[in-house]
């Protein structure tokens, strides 16, 4: 080998990797690199996976002692104590053992210090980079790897001006980089300050190891022997490193600005607390919390058990450290417990005249519901307190159930709180969470009492028929305790774990139907039905409530936009036939929006106007019946005419949206064979009613003067129109039977007539529900003659006078009474008994 020395053989420098080694003993005791004549011609080889090793580096090297312990042992037994390190990319191995094709041609020979066999950390040894080596031939391609090597020298004149210029450029780049990265230690700064310009090769290796470049990029530096080319590549790496360091510095500076503002505010607040405490004008958090809770308790009338529990919690709070988790749990508990209005009630206004005035002012119609509420208030006035009853308002959407609850609270002078039970599936919403859980809270009722600040509010539970159940429990069952006057005086909330008196709360629940409410829960409530509104009631509601409300909402004055009664009635009959008035309110709002657009267009005249200016110049306008179609489009409903014809009868049905007329059609399809077909999306109960009616009529054809053989050879098809709407229930029994009799007699019903009632196989007519809704549906369809079950006479007579006025009702005990009313002219106008 050549024996002239290059700068590759100079004394080793410091660790240039991300992890800096500062071990003076190693650096002082390490001798200069072994001379060329003692560097062995063959080396044991160990792969390094992260980044290549450079000459001049002193760095810990991690390794698998089980895999490479044999190689290290062989090295330590040799006299030279050196080993070759070669970079091998782990991504190329795919989990397999490296073979010669994975090793690069050039690596770095290192001297071992603190070998793993004697070091404190068995999987690590300290390596001191000596020189580059090039693999000439493989002596053993299985672990322990052994190769024959040569030691190439750096190419180029290190004394040339070009090399020195590159060296100074690299040195300047390193100096610019050092202030940007706090990871570089003071030893590196010392090395740069004492740099020898006659060491360009070591400087290039030093600078490359200083960067965070990828392993393959550093390997390229290691394999570049010409000094000038190596320094060019190192300058490129240093430039990228500087850009990354500057970007990292900017990000850190932005983060530090935000953090420093928060820290400054925190320190100032802490200093202020200490100063105030020293001056005696402030207290620590624990003392101030305790005093605040005690101050709240002074205004409350606590039961003995509650007082004892709160005192215990206050005592616990006084010994806990404010920074402990238990302190936060106890503080939150006391915060809730001291905000429950224990013993605080508002005074009830039991003046019935005042209550009647409030209910009449807020609602038109619903006289029977108002009377029942006044009865309820009268009992409370007689007793001197309102307690013990839970009201359930049942009716279609938009009939005013929620607004009635608000009116009751206003009439009594009580606080009002409303929450919806629709879709609630967690029992803890009612009973509260156990306080041991993170984020635990009391139930809705304790939250309501905290918000209203009195123990006797009006609490409205909306949509009680839509409550659900899940793996979290059954909220409906949890409500049983709340809505039971015999139990709710000692309602137990799981979070407070205290008995809360809910007996003074007036609960008002709302529902669209009763079918989905559990029986035990329904049994605890008193049901008031809101059947819906007839056209006259809707007209009054629109005139007195909805129209003024929409004028105010749209920023219009009363005299700016007016609508006459024929127009309102046309909107009601042609666009809003549902039981409630919610859609009517939407249509009135739509009318106002259209009118405002016309105001702005008419008065704008191309000039830019503000909303305020457009309002001020709006002309007065009156909307009549002929304007409605221009504003709302073509009518959604045409005037209904009762269907007439052979085999057609009109029934009355109850739905969750209110009452409805239900035409039933029957037809003889052919006479080839006997059969009975049903269509119209009928439910199971209604199909059974149709089968009963068919069986009854077939077996009594002679009694109703029909052809006894009519059904023997007839395929009969019975259809209930509007097949997309599900229909179910037994109340169409007499309607279906009447349609079949009409078909068999080949005689149509000669006048508008509607009927409802359940039919049995013996011809009995049984009572049905929803009489109010059905009467309203008949009036809406202009049918003023009805047949009802005799057992429903009381229900009809209890209806308000304005609903019964002008209606001719026949009460039937058997289907014979129905038949004689429909088909016998001499009995047509005479009510049956």
Q: How many CA atoms are closer than 13 Å to the CA of 777, on its beta-carbon side? A: 26
107-to-20, 45, 92 alpha-carbon distances in Å: 21, 9, 18
What span, in angstroms and rounded, lies between the C-alpha atoms of 522 and 514? Answer: 8
Sign of CA dihedral 689, 690, 691, 697: positive
- If one counts every other C-beta atom within 10 angstroms of the C-beta of residue 510, the result is 25
* Active site (annotated) includes residue 774: yes
Strands 106-113 and 124-140: antiparallel
Nearest one of 618, 633, 635, 631 to 563, comparing CA atoms: 631
Of residues 731, 649, 664, the one with CA closest to residue 692:
731
- From CA 115, how far away is CA 117, in angstroms rounded? 6
**Residue 592 has which token pair?**
């106002």
What is the β-pairing status of strands 648-655 and 754-755?
parallel
Query: Which of the following is catalytic: 201, 407, 689, 731?
Result: 731
Q: Distance between CA atoms of 512 and 397, rounded to whole angstroms?
A: 7
CA dist., res. 603 & res. 646, Å (int): 59
Q: Report helix, strand or coil for 509.
A: strand
**Element housing 786 (H / E):** strand 785-789
Q: Is 273 a catalytic residue?
A: no
List the structure tokens of 522: 């329904």
- Tokens of residue 348, six digits: 């009830």
Q: Which helix (H) or strand (E) holds 663?
A: strand 658-670
- Grouping H, G, I as helix, E, B as strand and the rest as coil, residue 293 is helix
Distance CA 831, CA 797 (A): 14
The span from the CA of 296 to the CA of 693, in Å, is 70
Residues 6+ apart with CB under 8 A from 262: none
Bond preceding residue 536 cis, omega within 30 of 0: no
List C-alpha distances in Å: 641 to 535, 652, 663, 666.
17, 15, 11, 18
Of 118, 35, 15, 34, the C-alpha closest to 72 is: 118
Please work out, in degrees rounded to the nearest 5, the angle formed at the alpha carbon of residue 295 by the alpha carbons of 292 and 300: 130
Handedness of CA 538, 539, 545, 548 (dihedral sign): positive
Instruction: Determine contact, residues 779/660, Cβ cutoff 8 Å.
Output: no
Counting runs of H as helices and runs of E as strands, what totals does the chain give?
A: 30, 24
Helical segments of 545-610, H only: 547-553, 565-575, 582-604
Q: What angle do CA 734, 737, 742 make, to 5 degrees?
A: 125
Pick the catalytic residue: 401, 444, 727, 774? Answer: 774
Angle between helices 215-223 and 227-279 (to 10 degrees): 140
Q: Are 144 and 209 in contact (CB under 8 A)?
A: no
Q: Which residue has the tokens 């007065």?
A: 620
Listed in sequence order, the residues at least 6 apart from 89 whose beta carbon sits closer than 8 Å to its beta carbon are 49, 102, 215, 216
Burial of 391 (0-12, 13-18, 19+ CB in 10 A): buried
Residue of 509, 472, 470, 464 whose CA lies nearest to 494: 472
Contacts 24+ apart (CB under 8 A), 181-185: 181/245, 183/18, 183/20, 184/20, 184/210, 185/20, 185/22
Query: How far is the C-alpha of 810 from the C-alpha of 33, rounded, in Å?
Result: 123
Catalytic residue numbers read 731, 774
């Amino acid at each position: 080998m050549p024996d002239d020395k290059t700068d590759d053989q100079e004394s080793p420098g410091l660790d240039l990797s991300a992890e800096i080694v500062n071990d003076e003993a190693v650096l002082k005791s390490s001798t200069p690199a072994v001379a060329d004549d003692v560097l062995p011609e063959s080396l044991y080889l160990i792969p390094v996976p992260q980044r290549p090793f450079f000459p001049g580096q002193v760095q810990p090297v991690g390794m698998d002692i089980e895999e490479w312990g044999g190689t290290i042992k062989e090295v330590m037994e040799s006299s030279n104590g050196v080993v070759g390190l070669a970079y091998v990319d782990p991504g190329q191995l795919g989990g397999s053992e490296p073979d010669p094709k994975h090793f690069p041609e050039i690596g770095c020979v290192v001297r071992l210090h603190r070998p793993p066999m004697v070091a404190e950390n068995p999987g690590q040894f300290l390596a001191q980079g000596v020189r580059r080596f090039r693999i000439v031939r493989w002596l053993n391609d299985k672990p322990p790897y052994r190769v024959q090597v040569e030691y190439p020298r750096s190419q180029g004149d290190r004394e040339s001006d070009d090399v020195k210029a590159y060296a100074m450029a690299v040195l300047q780049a390193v100096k610019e980089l050092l202030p940007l990265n706090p990871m570089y230690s003071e030893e590196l700064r010392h090395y740069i300050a004492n740099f020898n310009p006659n060491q360009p090769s070591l400087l290039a290796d030093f600078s490359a190891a200083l960067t965070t470049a990828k392993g393959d990029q550093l390997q390229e530096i290691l394999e570049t022997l010409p000094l000038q080319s190596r320094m060019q590549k190192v300058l490129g790496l240093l430039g990228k490193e500087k850009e990354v360091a500057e970007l990292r510095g900017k990000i850190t500076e932005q983060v530090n600005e935000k953090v420093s503002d928060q820290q400054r505010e925190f320190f100032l607040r802490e200093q202020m607390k200490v100063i105030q405490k020293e001056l005696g004008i402030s207290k620590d958090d624990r003392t101030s919390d305790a005093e605040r809770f005690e101050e709240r308790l002074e205004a409350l009338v606590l039961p003995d058990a509650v007082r004892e529990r709160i005192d215990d919690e206050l005592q616990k709070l006084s010994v806990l450290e404010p920074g402990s988790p238990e302190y936060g749990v106890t503080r939150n508990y006391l915060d809730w417990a001291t905000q429950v209005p224990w013993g605080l009630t508002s005074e009830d206004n039991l003046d019935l005249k005042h209550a009647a005035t409030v209910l009449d002012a807020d609602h038109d119609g619903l006289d029977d519901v108002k009377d029942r509420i006044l009865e309820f208030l009268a009992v409370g006035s007689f007793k001197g307190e309102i307690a013990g009853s839970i009201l359930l308002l049942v009716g279609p959407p938009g009939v005013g159930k929620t607004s009635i609850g608000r009116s009751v609270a206003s009439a009594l002078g009580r606080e009002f709180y409303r929450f919806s039970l629709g879709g609630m599936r967690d029992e803890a919403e009612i009973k509260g969470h156990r306080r041991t859980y993170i984020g635990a809270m009391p139930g809705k009722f304790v939250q309501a009492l905290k918000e209203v600040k009195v123990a006797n509010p009006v609490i409205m539970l909306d949509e009680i028929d839509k409550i659900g159940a899940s793996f979290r429990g059954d909220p409906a069952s949890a409500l049983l305790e709340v809505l039971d006057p015999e139990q709710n005086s000692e309602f137990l909330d799981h979070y407070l774990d205290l008995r809360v008196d809910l007996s003074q709360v007036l609960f008002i629940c709302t529902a669209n139907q009763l079918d989905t409410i559990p029986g035990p829960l329904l049994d605890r409530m008193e049901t008031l039905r809101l059947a819906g509104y007839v056209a006259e009631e809707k007209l009054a509601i629109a005139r007195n409530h909805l129209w003024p409300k929409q004028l105010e909402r749209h920023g219009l004055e009363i005299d700016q936009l007016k609508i006459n009664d024929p127009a309102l009635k046309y909107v009601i009959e042609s666009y809003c036939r549902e039981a409630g008035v919610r859609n009517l309110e939407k249509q009135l709002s739509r009318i106002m929006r259209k009118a405002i657009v016309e105001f702005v267009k008419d008065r704008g005249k191309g000039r830019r106007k503000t909303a305020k200016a457009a309002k001020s110049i709006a002309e007065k306008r009156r909307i009549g019946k002929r304007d409605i179609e221009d504003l709302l489009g073509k009518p959604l409903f045409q005037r209904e005419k009762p269907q007439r014809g052979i085999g057609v009868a009109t029934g009355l049905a109850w739905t969750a949206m209110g009452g409805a007329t239900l035409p039933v059609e029957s037809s003889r399809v052919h006479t080839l064979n006997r059969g009975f077909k049903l269509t119209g999306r009928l439910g199971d109960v209604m199909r059974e009613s149709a089968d009963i009616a068919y069986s009854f009529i077939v077996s009594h054809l002679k009694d109703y003067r029909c052809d006894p053989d009519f059904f023997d050879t007839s395929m009969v098809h019975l259809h209930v129109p509007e097949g997309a709407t599900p229909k179910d229930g037994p109340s169409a029994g007499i309607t279906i039977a009447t349609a079949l009799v009409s078909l068999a007699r080949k005689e149509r019903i000669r006048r508008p007539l509607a009927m409802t009632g359940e039919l049995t196989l013996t011809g009995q007519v049984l009572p049905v529900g929803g009489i109010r809704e059905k009467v309203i549906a008949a009036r809406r369809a202009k049918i003023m003659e009805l047949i009802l079950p005799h057992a429903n006479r009381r229900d009809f007579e209890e209806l308000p006078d304005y609903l019964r006025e002008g209606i001719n009702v026949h009460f039937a005990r058997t289907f014979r009474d129905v038949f004689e009313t429909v088909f016998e002219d001499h009995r047509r106008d005479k009510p049956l008994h």
